Amino acid sequence: MKACVAEFFGTAILVLLGNGVVANVVLDKTKGHGGGWIVITAGWAFAVFSGVVCTAELSGAHLNPAVTVAMALNDPDQFAWSLVPGYLAAQLLGAFVGALLVYAFYFDHYEATADRDLKLATFCTGPAVRNLPLNFFCEALGTLVLVLAVLSFASPSFPIPREGTADLPVKVGLGSVGAIRVALIVFSIGLSLGGTTGYAINPVRDLGPRLAHALLPIRDKRDSDWGYAAIPVFGPIAGAVAAVCLYKLMNSWTR
């Protein structure tokens, strides 16, 4: 339960700061209006850093179902599949709450913004060119890079109680020092691979805020683009599975 609560708060912080920088750049009458892509990618990198630092010692700071699935797939003895549903539920709820906080924080600027597409962009991703197979590939490849890096420098960070045993430190995610490294990876992915789909690379980062957009009474909002919503959910999961396979292959070369 402690780990799930940490995943909830960490993902809420991630989305609050990540979607917050998008709102600051694209909504009208903000101090950061027009800041551009570099500001958004840097803001998302710092958002990841903040979420990881706040929760690394409590949950391993996955904050992303792709990372959680990868950890369980890579070594279920260290991170059991039974933990995955709780982590995923906490992450989704955290992302939803983070999006609600962004809307409350920038409420006056949502009211002042006429462009409905820009309002949606502060909640979830969308393709620059809609080509669903290619969009899926872009999300999968970006997530592969992220998860491969996370697996490479994940370290023992917190104990999980196991029935009949003492608490044992397990390899489940990023320690606090890993926050800097994963933030740099996310920054790099955004700069190099983010231009096609907006680099969700995290199913709940997209799905939770998209649900919030659908439910919130935003003035003159457009639809929530549910026709695209499956891409940033299943693309990252596919990328995570591919990353685990590649990681295991690379490790086999050193034996």
Instruction: Give the per-residue pLDDT at 93.
Output: 98
pLDDT of 174 reads 52
Are 47 and 193 in contact by the 8 Å Cβ rule? The answer is no
Q: How far apart are CA 100 and CA 116, in angstroms?
A: 17
In what helix (H) or strand (E) does residue 141 lie, and over which residues does it extend? helix 132-153
Residue 74: left (phi > 0), alpha (psi -120 to 50), or beta? alpha
Distance between CA atoms of residues 101 and 99, nearest Å: 5
Instruction: Give the pair of three-digit tokens for residue 117.
Output: 């597409």
pLDDT of amino acid 177: 60
Q: What are phi and psi of 56, to 5 degrees?
A: -60, -40
70/75 Cα distance (integer angstroms): 9
CA 223 distance to own-chain centroid:
22
pLDDT in tens, the chain (255 residues): 899 999 999 999 999 999 999 999 999 999 999 999 999 999 999 999 999 999 988 998 999 999 999 999 999 998 999 999 999 999 999 999 999 999 999 999 999 999 999 999 999 999 999 999 999 999 999 999 999 999 987 644 444 445 444 444 444 455 556 788 999 999 999 999 999 999 999 999 999 999 999 999 999 999 999 999 999 999 999 999 999 999 999 988 876
Residue type, 130: R
